[in-house]
């Protein structure tokens, strides 16, 4: 009798295991669409998440993290998320405003005196460059919305500090009157990282980790993946002339991924996983709260995720506006046509995407490492993933 009961119990366990295995490979619209992109050699592989503010509804991985070794993509693979770092930098700045240590309306020169007495370009020709004083100093709000006029300044070395980069930027003439136009500025966001350092008295990377990443449970988000994490970083690819995908180098990296001397770019230096990025957007959809702990005031979350650029034309796709560190969908069209107005998020250089739609309550995260798209924010992969996810979870 005992043996019979043991056999029955083992059979039940086997049935549960098989059922679980079957469920893990169950087809979905998102999986089918992403697998098609991998089969067509458009991407090597992907990890995608569809979630609410409380739970992950779907986590899918397809294709390969390394085409040469045929290593299968897993949910825990890490990706260079590039400019998806920017909203996280914005959150750090707004945390300091919540603590009344700064105001986003403050002039940058209040915290970084090297920005005093800036000049801007009046006229430029092949042979001459005419400058004039700026009519007003740039503000933190200008930096957060990419309306400062700051030109993008290249780093002189792979281990340049934010202080060095920002000093060089402060001596470079502005491209236009602050607040009058939109021009995407990595230098502007790096300047925000330096402001965080000056105001908090902490290295930007430490502030980000202690005040945002650890509270959100983002254990695999870092500027410098350690040796263990480095083994989980998906390879980056772009198509060659023959149409095959060939490996490319992440251009911010000189030397080893774990080299902590590398510049912690506030504008785009982070590596992360799909689940970690999802946790960040869950915090935002929960009004700035994580597991009962408030990281941002509720009104601050609203401020960051509402249009702050008025009628200025912004962004890389139609219908887009800018909040504070976040892109905000002003009019649903084109690549954001399946989102509600007010959806906010950001993409990255290698076509990663992360968006939260407050009206549907859904979060969409797309992790790929694909260089060479003319516009990552308007890629067919982004549109295919989003459409499949909306068809599956909204319609």
Domain extents in the chain: 28-84+219-393, 89-205
CA atoms within 13 A on the CB side of 302: 3
Multiple choice CATH, 28-84+219-393, 3.30.70.2190, 3.20.20.70, 3.40.710.10, 3.40.50.80: 3.40.710.10
CB atoms within 10 A of CB 4: 8
Contact between 382 and 335 (Cβ < 8 Å): yes
pLDDT at 165 over 60: yes
Residue 254 is predicted with a pLDDT of: 87
CB atoms within 10 A of CB 252: 17
CATH fold match for the domains 28-84+219-393 and 89-205: yes
pLDDT tens figures, 259-295: 999 999 999 999 999 999 999 999 999 999 999 999 9
The residue among 96, 79, 93 whose CA lies nearest residue 232 is: 79
The residue among 43, 171, 153, 64 whose CA lies nearest residue 116 is: 171
Residue 230 is predicted with a pLDDT of: 97
CA distances from 250 to 30, 78, 88, 209, 247 (A): 27, 13, 20, 22, 10
pLDDT at 9 over 70: no
Contact between 234 and 78 (Cβ < 8 Å): yes
The most distant pair of C-alpha atoms in the chain lies apart, rounded to whole Å, by: 97
102: tokens are: 């700064």
135: tokens are: 């009519």
Residue 126 is predicted with a pLDDT of: 82
Residue 10 is predicted with a pLDDT of: 45
pLDDT tens figures, 182-206: 999 999 999 999 999 999 999 999 9
The residue among 333, 368, 336 whose CA lies nearest residue 349 is: 368
Q: How far is CA 10 from its chain centroid?
A: 46
pLDDT at 1 over 70: no
Confidence of residue 125 (pLDDT cuts 50, 70, 90): confident
Multiple choice CATH, 89-205, 3.40.50.10540, 3.30.420.40, 3.40.710.10, 3.10.450.50: 3.40.710.10
Percentage above 70 pLDDT, the chain: 93
Residue 25 is predicted with a pLDDT of: 52
């Amino acid at each position: 009798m005992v043996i019979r009961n043991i056999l029955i119990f083992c059979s039940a366990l086997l049935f549960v295991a098989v059922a679980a295995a079957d469920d893990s490979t169950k087809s979905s619209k998102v999986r089918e669409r992403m697998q098609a992109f991998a089969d067509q050699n458009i991407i090597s592989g992907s990890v995608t998440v569809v979630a609410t503010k409380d739970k992950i509804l779907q986590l899918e991985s397809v294709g390969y993290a390394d085409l040469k070794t045929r290593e299968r993509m897993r949910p825990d693979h890490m990706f260079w998320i590039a400019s998806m770092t920017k909203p996280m930098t914005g959150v750090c700045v707004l945390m300091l405003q919540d603590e009344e240590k700064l105001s986003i309306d403050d002039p940058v020169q209040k915290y970084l005196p090297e920005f005093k007495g800036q000049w801007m370009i009046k006229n430029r020709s092949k042979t001459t460059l005419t400058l004039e004083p700026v009519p007003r100093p740039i503000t933190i709000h200008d930096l957060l919305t990419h309306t400062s006029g700051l030109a993008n300044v290249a780093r002189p070395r792979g281990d340049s500090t934010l202080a060095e980069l920002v000093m060089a930027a402060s001596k470079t003439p502005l491209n236009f009157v602050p607040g009058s136009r939109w021009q995407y500025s990595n230098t502007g966001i790096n300047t925000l990282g330096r402001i965080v350092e000056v105001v908090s008295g902490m290295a930007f990377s430490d502030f980000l980790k202690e005040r945002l990443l650890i509270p959100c449970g983002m254990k695999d988000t870092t500027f410098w993946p350690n040796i263990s994490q480095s083994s989980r970083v998906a390879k980056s690819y772009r198509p060659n002339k023959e149409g095959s995908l060939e490996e490319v180098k992440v251009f911010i990296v000189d030397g080893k991924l774990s080299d902590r001397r590398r510049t912690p770019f506030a504008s785009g230096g982070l590596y992360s996983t799909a689940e970690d990025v999802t946790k960040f957007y869950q915090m935002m959809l929960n009004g700035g709260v994580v597991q009962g702990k408030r990281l941002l005031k509720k009104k601050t979350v609203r401020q960051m995720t509402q249009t702050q650029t008025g009628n200025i034309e912004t962004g890389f796709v139609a219908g887009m506006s800018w909040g504070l560190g976040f892109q905000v969908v002003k009019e649903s069209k084109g690549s954001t046509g399946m989102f509600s107005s007010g959806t906010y998020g950001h993409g990255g250089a290698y076509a990663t995407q992360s968006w939260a739609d407050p009206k549907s309550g859904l979060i969409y995260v797309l992790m790929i490492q694909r260089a060479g798209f003319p516009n990552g924010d308007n890629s067919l992969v982004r549109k295919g993933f989003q459409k499949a996810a909306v068809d599956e979870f909204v319609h």
